Amino acid sequence: MSESTAGAAPAWEAEQHPLRAVVLAGGLTFEREVSLSSGTQVEEALVRAGLDAELRDADAELLPGLAAAPADAVFIALHGATGEDGALRAVLDLAGVPYVGSPAAACRLAWDKPAAKSVAGSAGVTTPDWVALPHSTFRELGAGAVLDLIVARLGLPLMVKPASGGSALGAQKVTRVEDLPAAMVSCFAYGDTVMVERFVDGVELALSVVDLGEGPQALPAVEIAPESGVFDYTSRYTPGLTEYHAPARIDDVVAARAAELAVRVHRALGLADLSRTDAIVDADGQVHFLEVNVSPGMTQTSMFPMAVEAAGYDLGEVLASLLARRAGHSR
């Protein structure tokens, strides 16, 4: 946060009435409960920052509610397709409702992990070798033959994950060939296309980016050390199963590389306001891009709030600044 941003009276306090923010959470996805937890944390942080904040679900009552009681700006704390594939943002655009976060087109790109990796790779970002295939390919060409080609190309171990989605739902590390078919079946429960990626052993990082008006800046990297060795859904959202270090225990050179990678991904994909990039640092200090999240988790075990705190900022003030900018207030 710049000195001018930190030193001025907040725009939402300067108005005759507090800035009215609606926090969207819930939705009908596999990540509903996580989203509700994020939304509650955001609402409470905004209230502490002096805003008039209200938590609402993304349901049939949302648009009539926004029409009856317009928000100055909306904060999207929805995870999964509802909050991250761009569809809801396109509807908010149609309704003329300002919101914090990336535009619909950028969200569609980021939501598609293979597409995001392709764009990031074209921008000079290192990412593990991968292949993404729909369920029909395995059915039509024979699963065994296709899986043999994948292993021959990428080797073992592998990371198998749905080509879209968040919270590591369906993601598995596969170390044995015989376990690969079951991992694929598990992924297809979350979508029609699966992405198989070469596993990179190293230090896992969450790289948060925020833009408070002076361009995107990377916050301190958060190091993720899951007890199980794999940062899956259970490790993410069960307190005590993962150890976090903010800032990460990496040297300054690697930290600078990681920060540069996160900002480059943010820019290359056309993202706005905030994002969180997941990356791995290998034994040689090379930072590998995995995926990017346009609606970072805001729960008590989420990495974006940890990064904000590590940077010396207050989460409520940061989110309020983003809302004030989208509402057209100046600070």
2-6, 20-24, 238-242: least confidently modelled range: 2-6
Catalytic residue among 278, 313, 325, 326: 278
pLDDT score of 330 more than 60: no
pLDDT score of 304 more than 60: yes
**Are the CB atoms for 200 and 282 separated by under 8 Å?**
yes
Same domain, 121 and 91: no
In whole angstroms, give the CA distance from residue 49 to residue 42. Answer: 11
Asked about 31 being catalytic, the answer comes back as: yes
Last residue of a domain, one of 148, 167, 198: 198
Residue 167's pLDDT is: 55
Overall domain count for the chain? 3
In 3-state terms, what secondary structure has residue 268?
helix
Asked about 244 being catalytic, the answer comes back as: no
pLDDT band at 300 (very low <50, low <70, confident <90, very high): confident
Last residue of a domain, one of 147, 182, 198: 198
Last residue of a domain, one of 198, 214, 242: 198
96-105, 168-177, 226-235, 259-268: least confidently modelled range: 226-235
Closest CA to 293 of 164, 170, 126: 164
pLDDT score of 31 more than 70: yes
Catalytic residue among 167, 208, 275, 302: 167
Catalytic residue among 26, 31, 295, 326: 31
Residue 160's pLDDT is: 95
Catalytic residue among 85, 204, 291, 317: 291
Rounded to the nearest integer, the mean pLDDT of the chain is 91
Residue 2's pLDDT is: 41
The tokens describing 271, both together, are: 């993202």
Same domain, 194 and 205: no
Asked about 85 being catalytic, the answer comes back as: no
Residue 193's pLDDT is: 95
The tokens describing 236, both together, are: 């993410």
Asked about 121 being catalytic, the answer comes back as: no
Catalytic residue among 35, 102, 164, 293: 293
Catalytic residue among 26, 237, 302, 317: 237
Which domain covers residue 58, as residue numbers?
3-102+315-327
**Are the CB atoms for 230 and 242 separated by under 8 Å?**
no
**Sequential DSSP letters for 150-217:** HHHHH-SSEEEEESS-STTTT-EEE-SGGGHHHHHHHHHTS-SEEEEEE---SEEEEEEEE-SSS--E
Full-model pTM: 0.91
Same domain, 12 and 79: yes
Same domain, 116 and 229: yes
> Over the Cα atoms of the chain, what is R_g?
20
Same domain, 20 and 83: yes
pLDDT band at 250 (very low <50, low <70, confident <90, very high): very high
pLDDT over 70 percentage in the chain: 92
Name the more confident of 310 and 164.
310
Q: How far is residue 161 from each of residues 113, 150, 170, 185, 193, measured CA to CA in Å? A: 10, 14, 6, 11, 9
Asked about 167 being catalytic, the answer comes back as: yes
CATH at 16: 3.40.50.20
Average pLDDT rounded to a whole number, residues 177-186: 94
Asked about 278 being catalytic, the answer comes back as: yes
Residue 110's H or E segment, with its range, is helix 104-111
Asked about 276 being catalytic, the answer comes back as: yes
In whole angstroms, give the CA distance from residue 92 to residue 233. Answer: 29
- Select the highest-mean-pLDDT range: 116-130, 184-198, 225-239: 116-130
Q: What is the DSSP letter of 50?
A: T
Average pLDDT rounded to a whole number, residues 187-201: 94
Residue 282 burial class via C-beta count within 10 angstroms: exposed 0-12, middle 13-18, buried 19 and up: middle
Asked about 228 being catalytic, the answer comes back as: no
Average pLDDT rounded to a whole number, residues 53-81: 95
pLDDT score of 9 more than 60: no
Instruction: Give phi and psi for 231, each to the nearest 5.
Output: -85, 75
Same domain, 239 and 268: yes
In whole angstroms, give the CA distance from residue 295 to residue 234. Answer: 19
Closest CA to 279 of 228, 206, 227: 206
Q: What is the DSSP letter of 328?
A: T
Same domain, 48 and 150: no
CATH at 177: 3.30.1490.20
